[in-house]
A and B are shown apart, each in its own frame.
Chain A
Amino acid sequence: MSTQSLESKYTEEQYSEVDQYQPATRTGRIANYVDTRVGGTGMVREFGRKVFPDHWTFMFGEVALYSFVITVISGAFLTFWFDPSMASTRYDGSYVPLQGVEMSTAYSTALQLSFDVRGGLFMRQLHHWGALMFVMAMAIHMLRVFFTGAFRKPRELNWVVGCTLLLAGLGAGFTGYSLPDEVLSGNGLRIIDGMLKAIPMVGTYISFFLFGGEFPGDEVIPRLYSLHIFIIPAVILILIAVHLFMVVTHKHTQYPGPGRTERNVVGYPIGPVYAAKAGGFFFVVFGVLALLAGTFQINALWNYGPYDPSPVQAGTQPDWYIGWFDGLLRLMPGYIGDIPLEFVIPTPWGGNSVATPVLVTFLPITALLLGLFVWPWIEAWITGDKKEHHILDRPRNAPGRTAFGMAMMIWYFVMWAAASSDLIATHFSLSFNDVLIWLRVLFFAGPILTFIITKRICLALQRKDREIVLHGNEAGVIEMLPHGEFREKHTRVSDYELYTLVAYESPEVTPARPNAKGKVGLLEKSRVRLNRTFFEDRVAPVSREEYIEALSHDDHGTPAELPAGSVGAIESRKS
């Protein structure tokens, strides 16, 4: 905003009027004093009138932000007492079952925080529940964005920022989980160490680099601490700023509805109601977390004992968001029949072993994470859609995407569930081995079945929508006509509802396009194949003709008066 534009906007008198303005009340004087120095009016005018659409599913991002803030605040409290040192000490705090036990300073200060610092255990639990909620809120937020197609142009880059935030959240969570240096987290680090060492050639070097020598060494916890309290939170903060800036630039997406177009945003301004609601929602999230932290124990690190590489404990799992890595390791067999999957490459220095069972688990991880990042471009490539989208898809109206997303979700769920295979076995009185076998079957069959079933469900729901538009809802009233015919009465849906049911884009199959040389390449062929899987059995939205035709079938016989609005809704459709 340059001075020139301001000069042209206001006259000299107006300026002096503002300058000499004297508020009547004391509060007014204070407010004016601050405003003339900070320029709050401009900010309120700019941001306070920013319009946001209203839907409960839009609030998961807010939950993520708030739980992150709460986690940062409670984490700052923890840093006052926690000492991430691996130096050996003898515990002499007030927890009797560990008194006199040799342990690292990190573990003993974590115990001190839990038992000897006033409110320390509550803050630790708040921090941990906050972290679980942070990642959960991000995950659900991304699922919402995915299934409504909010990642499409122009928001692809913000989707990438979101993916990076999710990864940073996983990193923050895992580094934090590892800090107390008890047996549970030590085993988690041991698995990471094992996975690093499985990388051929360089694995051992990477592991030694991270741990400062052979695992566990005495350097890894201070290093993870730097990452956990400094580097990763800083990355998350910066990315959140970028993310929100982009949300403001792109404006928020909205669900389809009357009056909502690709060119507007229908909703309420931030100030004053939304600001109050959002501010209040922070305290709702805080309240939920405080309730959990105050009533449910989380990470009872005093049970696990000081880390020692020899013991392993039943029920050793990572936090939920790392669970699928653990699950993959459980799913992957080390042997098929009697044939070991691990093998040794003979070398002059005695052979390098290749830990295939561990290496294979990297494949689904890479596929899922990489796929997440590049999905906006993959979808745009399949659909050939280069338009901007600000109106969201109802998941049923994009059957291909919804089915694919569900398939990937089920794939993830199987890996996730595998991490709790032992508890599934004990709590449902099943054989642990059978649980694993079934999960292995589901690992391959689950996504395929899910894709087919979800797509069928979406198409069925679309047909149901068509049915409702064309014939209305069954009223539950049976009429007898003068000539004796029985007929069920249908009530037409309101124009408002009608709009939501008919106003959506329904892309058709795009045939193969030859390239500059006039040839249809292999890539284009596979694009068309995917495109066909997405769209070939599409259910077309109700057209104007169909609707008028349907109205004429109504029980009054002739379409005497057409409800103008409802046909208008159909005409306003983009496709």
Chain B
Amino acid sequence: MKALSQKRRHPLAAVALLLLGLLLTGGLYAAATSINDAQATNAAEAYSASDVEEGERLFVANCATCHGINAEGSDAGPSLIGSGAAAVDFQVGTGRMPMQMSGPQAQKKPAQFNDEQTMQLSAYVASLGSGPAVPDEEYLDVEQGNIARGGELFRINCAMCHNAAAAGGALTEGKYAPALDGVESRHIYAAMVTGPQNMPEFNDSNIPPEDKRDIIAFLKNNESQGVPGGFSLGSLGPVSEGLLIWTLGLALLIGSMVWLTSRSS
């Protein structure tokens, strides 16, 4: 203690103190975020070494052109180190990757790899660094979800881009939030955890896994409950309704008017 009090007016004391403070806060922050990460990856599947190896082979053949030979990224594509298995499962599983063409955002298309290959690619990317894992079956079981709560969460967090009926919506510069009809539960979950394309990331401290399950339950219920009022007109709201009255409605009216005022002769 004596040494400390003697050296307290040393010219470098302030610098040392500052360093100490920075180290402490930085260390705490790192610890805190890695706890989050740990939560995110808590469902890590055990991938076998052969999965990783096979995945690497697929990666080099199909993805490395843009993402780099070691997935370190290039001008054409981001680094995948730390992206996690969930991101790969989403992007490859929905056919967004490999990308068909450059554009404002990758578009959904028929998946280019089968389930096994997708799993192997996920295994490879997961082996590069820790990231969100493919979700547990437990969190995809819509039977356990609370639909009403899921609806509330969806309206607060998702509907501003995806539309209240999950019919999709526009973003800037040609980007868009896709419609969620028919998207698999695991992909919805993965999208929330990884924030693909222009979507923000909803990690587990933001929306806990149980809440994600509620949202999925709400979406799946919307899909299965059908449309109570007839044809949904794309669930796009007043625009498609206005279009219908000005096309079909007006055509029916004019047709009957011309008929009524026509003479039999």
Check A281 against B235 for contact (C-beta < 8 Å): no
Please encode chain B, from 236 to 256, with 1 for each CB lying within 8 Å of some chain A CB and 0 for all others.
Answer: 111111101110111011101
Q: A297-B228, A431-B174 known; A136 and B249 CB under 8 Å? A: yes
Residues 142-166 of B at the A interface (beta carbon under 8 Å): 147-148, 150-152, 155-156, 159-165
CB pair B174 A425 closer than 8 Å: yes
Q: Do A285 and B148 touch across chains, with their CB atoms under 8 A apart?
A: no
Q: Is B69 an interface residue (CB 8 A)?
A: no
Residues of B contacting A419 in the complex (Cβ-Cβ under 8 angstroms): 239
Separation of A10 and B246 alpha carbons in the complex (Å):
55
A114 an interface residue at 8 Å Cβ cutoff? yes
B206 adjacent to chain A (CB < 8 Å): no
In the complex, the answer to whether A320 meets B241 with C-beta atoms within 8 Å is: yes
State the majority secondary structure of interface residues on A.
helix
Contact between B245 and A297, CB atoms less than 8 A apart: no
Interface segment, one of B22-30, B32-40, B257-265: B257-265
B246: min CB distance to chain A, Å: 6
The complex places the Cα of A431 from the Cα of B172 at a distance, in Å, of 7
Per-residue interface assignment for chain A, residues 226 to 261, with 1 indicating a CB less than 8 Å from any chain B CB and 0 otherwise: 000000000000000000000000000000000000
Q: A311 to chain B: which residues have CB within 8 Å?
A: 155-156, 159-160
Q: Which B102-141 residues have C-beta < 8 A from chain A?
A: 104
Which residue of B is nearest A58, CB measured?
A: B261
Q: Does A49 contact B (CB under 8 A)?
A: no
Cα A294 to Cα B229 with chains together (Å) = 7
Contact B163 A315 (CB under 8 A): yes
- Roughly how many angstroms separate A310 CA and B160 CA in the complex, as a whole number? 10
> B175 → chain A, closest Cβ, in Å?
8
Given contacts A136-B245, A313-B160, A426-B168, A319 and B253 within 8 Å (CB-CB): no
Q: B43 an interface residue at 8 Å Cβ cutoff?
A: no
Which of A58, A132, A136, A304 is close to B164, meaning CB atoms less than 8 Å apart?
A304
The residue on B at minimum CB distance from A184 is B237
Measured CB to CB, the closest approach of chain B to A532, in angstroms, equals 36
CB distance from B180 to the nearest CB of A (A): 12
Question: For the complex, what is the distance from the CA of A101 to the CA of B235, rounded to whole Å?
Answer: 22
Is A333's CB within 8 Å of the partner chain B? no
Given contacts A288-B249, A317-B237, A423 and B170 within 8 Å (CB-CB):
yes
Contact residues, A114-153 vs B (CB, 8 A)? 114-115, 121, 125, 128-129, 132-133, 136-137, 140
Is the Cβ of B256 less than 8 Å from the Cβ of A296?
Answer: no
**Residues of B contacting A59 in the complex (Cβ-Cβ under 8 angstroms):** 257, 260-261
A98 close to B148 (CB less than 8 A): yes
**What CA separation (Å) do A57 and B160 show in the bound complex?**
42
- The reply to whether A305 and B155 form a contact with Cβ atoms under 8 Å apart is yes
Does chain A have a CB within 8 A of B94? Answer: no
403-448 of chain A: CB within 8 A of chain B:
419-423, 425-426, 429-434
Q: Which A residues lie within 8 Å of B242 (CB)? A: 132, 319-320, 323
Cβ–Cβ contact B244 & A317, under 8 A: no
Kindly provide the distance from the CB of A410 to the nearest chain B CB, expressed in whole angstroms. 16
Whether B246 lies near A316 (C-beta < 8 A) is: no
The B202-235 residues at the A interface (CB cut-off 8 A) are 218, 221-222, 225, 227-233, 235
Q: For residues 49 through 101 of chain A, which have their beta carbon under 8 Å from a beta carbon of chain B?
A: 54-59, 63, 96-101
* Interface residue A314 (Cβ < 8 Å from any Cβ of B): yes
Q: Tell which of A291, A296, A319 touches B233, judged by Cβ atoms closer than 8 Å.
A: A296
Query: A314 and B160 in contact (CB under 8 A), knowing A285-B253, A288-B252?
Result: yes
Least Cβ distance of B159 to chain A in Å?
Answer: 4
* B232 pairs with A314, CB closer than 8 A: no
Residue pair A121, B177 in contact (C-beta under 8 Å): no
Q: Contacts A59-B257, A319-B238, A323-B242: A297 and B156 contacting too (C-beta < 8 A)?
A: no
B residues less than 8 Å from A319 (CB atoms) = 238, 241-242
The answer to whether B165 and A303 have CB atoms under 8 Å apart is yes
Q: Mark A151-165, 1 if CB is under 8 A from B, else 0.
A: 000000000000000
Report Cα–Cα, A433/B104, bound state, in Å: 13
Contact B238–A320 (Cβ < 8 Å): yes
Q: Does A512 contact B (CB under 8 A)?
A: no
Return A173 CB to nearest CB of chain B, in Å. 11
Interfacial chain B residues near A310, Cβ < 8 Å: 156
When distances are taken between beta carbons in the complex, the residues of chain B under 8 Å from A312 are 160
Q: Which residue of B lies closest to A317 (CB)?
A: B238
B170–A295 touching, CB < 8 Å: no
* Selected contact of B245 from candidates A132, A291, A318, A429, CB within 8 Å: A132
On whether the beta carbons of B151 and A97 are closer than 8 Å, the reply is: yes
Cβ of B196 within 8 Å of any chain A Cβ, yes or no, is no
Say yes or no for B169: interface residue by CB 8 A criterion: yes
Q: Are B172 and A433 in contact (CB under 8 A)?
A: yes
Assuming the contacts A299-B241, A316-B237, asked whether A288 and B256 have C-beta atoms less than 8 A apart, the reply is yes
Q: Which of B227, B245, B256 contacts A129 (CB 8 A)?
A: B245
Residues of B within 8 A of A426 (CB): 168-170, 176
Judged by a CB distance under 8 angstroms, whether B75 is at the interface is no
A314 adjacent to B148 (CB under 8 Å): no
Interface flags, A317-341, vs B, CB<8A=1, else 0: 1111001000000000000000000
From the candidates B221, B238, B250, B257, name the one contacting A318 in the complex (CB within 8 A).
B238
Q: Which residues of A contact B173 (CB under 8 A)?
A: 431-433
A522: min CB distance to chain B, Å: 43
Q: What separation, in Å, do the CA atoms of A434 and B104 have in the docked complex?
A: 13
A56, B255: Cα distance in complex, Å: 9
Q: Does A284 contact B (CB under 8 A)?
A: yes
Q: Give the residue of A63, A100, A421, A430 whose beta carbon is less than 8 angstroms from that of B253.
A: A63
Indicate if A277 sits at the interface (CB-CB under 8 A): yes
Contact of B228 among A114, A315, A423, A425 (CB under 8 A): A114
Contact with A along B166-189 (1 / 0, CB 8 A): 011111111011000000000000
Q: List 21 A-B contacts (CB under 8 A).
A: A56-B257, A96-B147, A97-B225, A121-B228, A125-B229, A125-B230, A132-B245, A184-B237, A291-B252, A294-B230, A296-B231, A296-B233, A305-B152, A305-B155, A308-B155, A310-B156, A311-B160, A314-B160, A318-B238, A323-B238, A419-B239
Interface of B toward A, CB cutoff 8 Å: 104, 147-148, 150-152, 155-156, 159-165, 167-174, 176-177, 218, 221-222, 225, 227-233, 235-242, 244-246, 248-250, 252-254, 256-258, 260-261
| Known A97-B221, A280-B260, A305-B159; 17 more pairs at CB < 8 Å | A59-B261, A100-B148, A114-B229, A132-B242, A281-B257, A288-B253, A296-B230, A297-B231, A305-B152, A311-B156, A315-B236, A319-B241, A320-B241, A419-B239, A425-B176, A432-B170, A433-B173
Chain A contacts to B: CB under 8 angstroms: 54-59, 63, 96-101, 114-115, 121, 125, 128-129, 132-133, 136-137, 140, 183-184, 277, 280-281, 284-285, 288, 291-292, 294-300, 302-305, 308, 310-320, 323, 419-423, 425-426, 429-434
Question: 9 smallest A-B Cβ distances: which pairs?
Answer: A314-B169, A320-B242, A297-B229, A422-B170, A431-B174, A56-B257, A314-B163, A313-B159, A303-B165
